[in-house]
Amino acid sequence: MDSEPSTPSTVSTSSRVNDCDISRYRTATELVHLDNGESGVRDNYNSSSTPIYQTATFKQNSATEVGDFDYTRSGNPTRSVLESHLAKIMSAKRAFAVSSGMSAFDVIARLTHHLDLTNPAILYSYLHPTRTRLVLLETPTNPLIKICDIPTITSIVHERCPNALIVVDNTMMSPYLQKPLRLGADITYHSGTKYLSGHHDLMAGVIGVKDEMVAEKIYSTINATGCGLSPFDSWLLLRGIKTLAIRMDKQQANAQQIAEFLEYHGFKVNFPGLKSHPQYDLHFKMSRGPGAVLSFLTGDTELSERIVESTKLWAISVSFGCVNSLISMPCRMSHASIPAAVRAERGIPEDLIRLCVGIEDVNDLIEDLYQALVNSGVMKYPNGNEMVQFETNTNY
Ligand SMILES: Cc1ncc(COP(=O)(O)O)c(C=O)c1O
Ligand SMILES: N[C@@H](CCSC[C@H](N)C(=O)O)C(=O)O
């Protein structure tokens, strides 16, 4: 039986809506009174019912100041209010809300490992004919935009471990640009949060398999873990997919021009649409386009921060694949949860800037990037202080 607090003391009158300490009340009272303030979630309108924050991402003021939320998988205000309420009613230090009770169990059961698969030769020694069950790769990689050779890796793995499955994370390309199952993979999956939905208003994952038995196992797991996408998010995703090709065509055309602009000005740019990319030919053997994510180096982490923070049109935000353009510093943002030593081991430079290009007029995007580079002291306008205006296909 709960040990209940004694008679509630006087409720403060300084701010009726926010200062009521629910924990002083009995459980039955506690259950029905949400204390939004305690979850840390600000609600400027004092809504009686918690608002639904239907967003995948949250914009930042700078690369280093991550606000209360950056990405809905990591945290969402609506979920935070729920989790804080759950913690209180369960007398827990912290509580978590996942998509089902079986998902909660599944969360506890996962472990991962890492290998650089851009060099398939090293793979052989790690494979065990019977114990290796699954090889997971991503191409292009995020955020270094390295390319993995799907057909070569597939044939090495299938030869050495006939029962192992090759899984390809195809999020960077989308099914419009690359189809890993046609290149030998057994399973492909995407973060549907990115290009498939295209508007950063939902979180989703999609999985494609080519073997019926594997498909049955995956169905059973989804059924048993209860992680199937909600109807509303399925509807949103269906709507997003209809414009995938037109979005992707525009986004990658914009990205190509931006990559050329940066390379022209002497930056080391990672983008498979540039002939200078060491795996340009390999990429285009597998894909019909370069995608719209690129990264570049400045040689100085503080300078990178200044550039990111000097942009006006580009949102400082994690994620990619959205119709609006995003700029980020992976080591401070999307990849900050990887310990610095591990990031260094994997060759992710601290000064790396990632650009996720949207569908805006590319001239506006380049002009904004140009002014950010000038204002952060890296470049000068050719005519002194005069802002440069671009027209597509002019010289940079
Ligand atoms: C390449 C790639 N795959 C998978 C994921 C995971 O997707 P989600 O954030 O939708 O869970 C991400 C981003 O988090 C990603 O960048
Ligand atoms: N805080 C999140 C960051 C999400 S990263 C989202 C996306 N994959 C990207 O590369 O931007 C986390 O820790 O996962």
Domains of the chain by start residue, with CATH: 22-97 (no CATH), 120-241 (3.40.640.10), 244-375 (3.90.1150.10)
pTM listed for this prediction: 0.85
Which residue has the CA at smallest separation from atom 10 of ligand 1?
191
Report how far ligand 2's centroid is from the alpha carbon of 330 (Å).
9
* Closest-CA residue to 157 (of 123, 130, 208): 123
So what's the pLDDT on residue 256? 98
Pocket-forming residues, ligand 2, beta carbon under 6 Å:
70-71, 73-74, 142, 318-320, 334, 337
Choosing from 193, 195, 203, 236 the residue with most ligand 1 atoms within 8 A of its CB, the one to mutate for a pocket test is: 193
- pLDDT per 10-residue tile (average), the chain, 396 residues: 40 47 70 69 77 88 88 84 77 70 57 72 84 90 96 94 90 92 90 91 86 84 77 86 92 97 96 98 97 97 97 96 97 94 94 98 96 93 70 56
- Per-residue HEC secondary structure of 125-167 comes to HHCCCCCCCEEEEECCCCCCCCCCCHHHHHHHHHHHCCCCEEE
The strand pair at 326-328 and 315-316 is best described as: parallel
Backbone dihedral angles phi then psi of residue 354, each to the nearest 5 degrees = -110, 135
The two tokens of residue 8 are 């509630």
| Residue 19, pLDDT score | 53
Ligand 1 first shell, C-beta below 6 A: 73, 138, 142, 169, 171-172, 191, 193, 203, 205
Pick the closest to residue 394 from 384, 385, 378, 382 (CA basis): 382
Contact 367, 325 (CB under 8 A): no
ipTM summary value: 0.95
Check residue 225 and give its pLDDT: 76
Distance from the alpha carbon of residue 123 to the mean position of ligand 2, in angstroms: 27
- For residue 371, what is the enclosing H or E element? helix 362-375
